[in-house]
Amino acid sequence: MEQLLLPLLVALTSVGAYAAGTRVFGLPRHGLALAVRYTLDVAGLTVLFLAVNLGLGLAVVLGSRALSMRFVSVYILNDTSLIALSALQAVVVGSWWRLSPGARGEDVKRATRAQL
Partner 1 sequence: MPRALLRILGGAALASFLIAAFSPAVSLLSYLMTPARRSEPAQAIVVLGGGGVAASGLLTDTSMRATMEAIVLYRQGLAPLLVLSGSPEGSPHGEAETRADLARACGIPASAIMTSSQARTTHEEAQQIHTLLAPRDIRKILLVADTPGMARAMKVFERVGFDVVPTPWSEVLDLDGLPEDRLSLLRQLAMELVARVYYRVAGYV
Residues found near partner 1 in the complex (CB under 8 A): 3-4, 6-7, 37, 39-48, 58, 71, 73-75, 77-78, 80
The least distance separating partner 1 from the CB of residue 16, rounded to whole angstroms, comes to 20
Q: Which residue's CB is nearer to partner 1, number 74 or number 108?
A: 74
The least distance separating partner 1 from the CB of residue 24, rounded to whole angstroms, comes to 27
Coil, helix or strand for 70?
coil
The helix (run of H) or strand (run of E) holding residue 16 is: helix 5-19
The helix (run of H) or strand (run of E) holding residue 31 is: helix 31-67
The least distance separating partner 1 from the CB of residue 94, rounded to whole angstroms, comes to 9
> How many Å is the maximal CA-CA distance in the chain?
66
